[in-house]
Structure 1
């Protein structure tokens, strides 16, 4: 892993002025998604180039940013790699976080030997991969990503209106897309088929409780839909059964889709007059103030 440099405010300002637009985009990607591979950087930031050129430029930009002390990298132990060419995962350093104005990124303030667990990397890179696929889809004229925040940046804290105790919802990501004059808002649960139906039920109830609090609507004007992205259809059936057991007025908040169909489900707004209630969640939905309940 590259060492984390301590950079003064004046040095950071000089570095910011010296960065190319592509390097700025790489930093913005890492500020948003926290972790990314060189391939993901190439596809999301440099997708206008041929694949080989994009990969070469991505490696060049990432190397320079690491040398400047704005990013760091470590071996990706979570998946198979080409023989003789280890893959790496890239993240912002503390200086990189400060320059981008982002929140803390995983391990940024920890010792240089920090190594995330394989399961952690697999999950986080899957979130980044979803973002990259959405960016690629946007180049074909589909919905454009306006905002993408992952895990801690997307988490919400509020107080139970009755007990006053702190409550939480912890989506894997928050997504806002723009298409056909609409803004589509989602809380994303990237399901790995590792959680029990009871745990999924608890998540559904937490989102509904947060919706009824009215906090999200007061802050942002709308409550995002909640989409569970699952590995396959059997897992989708498990989660659909959990949703079917939620209160009738809450079921339209949740959508289930497979990883293969995720981009389509996230980017297609409902047709006018669509009868299926889950489609309402695609653009989010307003909610009466909790005092009305």
Structure 2
């Protein structure tokens, strides 16, 4: 079973001596398996969209606490949140037992799961990827669209062989496939969640990597479509920087890429580029 908008996750049978999870607890496990790093407030918005913010947050914290006591999730101090008066901020990730239960093969910090202490910039970026997933789910509920798939890195990465036989890895921040009402189209996107931390040269290298992967035809042979590449940036000033990088690309490359600001991302992701549209729902 998988939630709308998720990649398939497998809830492997628990040992007889293990905990019996409720439906809501299993939902939490599936959501964390998709995004890998999340906050209680993001879980609250995913599971309890019709409750008040206070009630939803309380219910989410209780579920996460129970899963932590079962040894299936672990909380880490959130370095992106200032620790002033009141409740401190925490991140929630799956433990080794949680990874096994959900069938997740790769996750950030997996090799050092017990001692993992992610940096500020890592967490800021990862929570932005999770927030995109939450917003897409909320947008779908409000507008009648459907998120058929969402993969957060490393699930969104693509391993393939280059023209010279070298082993290459394309590393999108996320991949999503959306069904848009009235268009009869499935929109597929590789997503770069840009935090204004990379130079124009690095952006150009990313564009080259996407074009190289497109020319390999691996994605098209497997899925019948090559996703468009959407850069989601903090503001219009950053958008201009990335658009200038794209404008310097060869003419045949430019149509692969699109740029949008964070506050316009939902509308942009539901508006097709020719290369991002797949006629088969």
Structure 2 distance, partners of 1:75, 1:154, is 26
Which shifted more, 224-233 or 243-252?
A: 243-252
- Match for residue 123 of structure 2 among 121, 124, 129: 121
| 3-state SS of paired residue (2:131) | helix
Query: What does residue 35 of structure 1 align with?
Result: 37
Cα 1:130–1:111 shift into 2, 3 Å: closer
Out of 96, 102, 105, which is 1:103 matched to?
105
* Bigger mean CA deviation after superposition, 191-200 or 111-120: 111-120
After TM superposition, the score normalised by the length of structure 1 is: 0.85
Indicate whether 1:192 and 2:199 are aligned.
no
2 CA distance for matches of 1:44 and 1:228?
24
1:178 aligns with 2:195: no
Report the equivalent of 1:62.
64
**Secondary structure of 1:246's match?**
coil
Compute the displacement of 1:50 (Å): 2.2
Moved more, 259-268 or 87-96: 259-268
Q: Tell me the CA shift for residue 250 of structure 1.
A: 1.4
Q: Is the 8 A contact 2:76 2:92 kept in 1?
A: yes
Q: CA offset at residue 284 of structure 1?
A: 6.0
Q: TM-score, normalised by structure 2?
A: 0.89
Range with bigger deviation, 224-233 or 137-146? 137-146
Within-5 A mapping of 1:221-260: 221-260=224-263
CA change 1:33–1:168 in 2 (3 A) is same
Structure 1 segments (4+ residues) deviating >6 Å: none
Residues 12-91 of structure 1: pairs in structure 2 closer than 5 A: 12=15, 15=18, 18-81=20-83, 83-91=85-93
Q: Which runs of 5+ in 2 are unaligned?
A: 1-11
Deviation, structure 1 residue 81: 4.6
Aligned length: 267
State the match for 2:136 in structure 1.
134
Residues 13 and 212 of structure 1, relative CA distance in 2, 3 Å threshold: farther
Structure 1 unpaired stretches of 5+: 1-8, 271-278, 286-293
Match of 1:150 among 145, 149, 152: 152
Pair 1:160–1:109, CA change in 2 (3 A): closer
TM-fit CA distance, 1:82: 5.4
Q: Which has the larger radius of gyration?
A: 1
Check 1:95–1:260 CA distance in 2 against 1; reply closer, same or farther (3 A cut). same
CA distance in 1, matches of 2:115, 2:197: 29
- Local SS of the residue matching 1:192: coil
Aligned residues of 2:76 and 2:91 also touching (Cα < 8 A): yes
Is the CA contact (8 Å cut-off) linking 1:149 and 1:175 kept in structure 2? yes
Q: Distance in 1 between matches of 2:59 and 2:223?
A: 38
RMSD: 2.0
Aligned pair partner of 1:211 in 185, 195, 214: 214
- On the 8 A contact 1:35/1:90 being kept in 2, the answer is yes
Q: Secondary structure at the match of 1:83?
A: coil
Q: How far is 1:191 from its partner?
A: 0.8
Deviation at 1:111, TM superposition (A): 5.5
Correspondence for 1:275: none
**Matched position secondary structure for 1:261:** helix
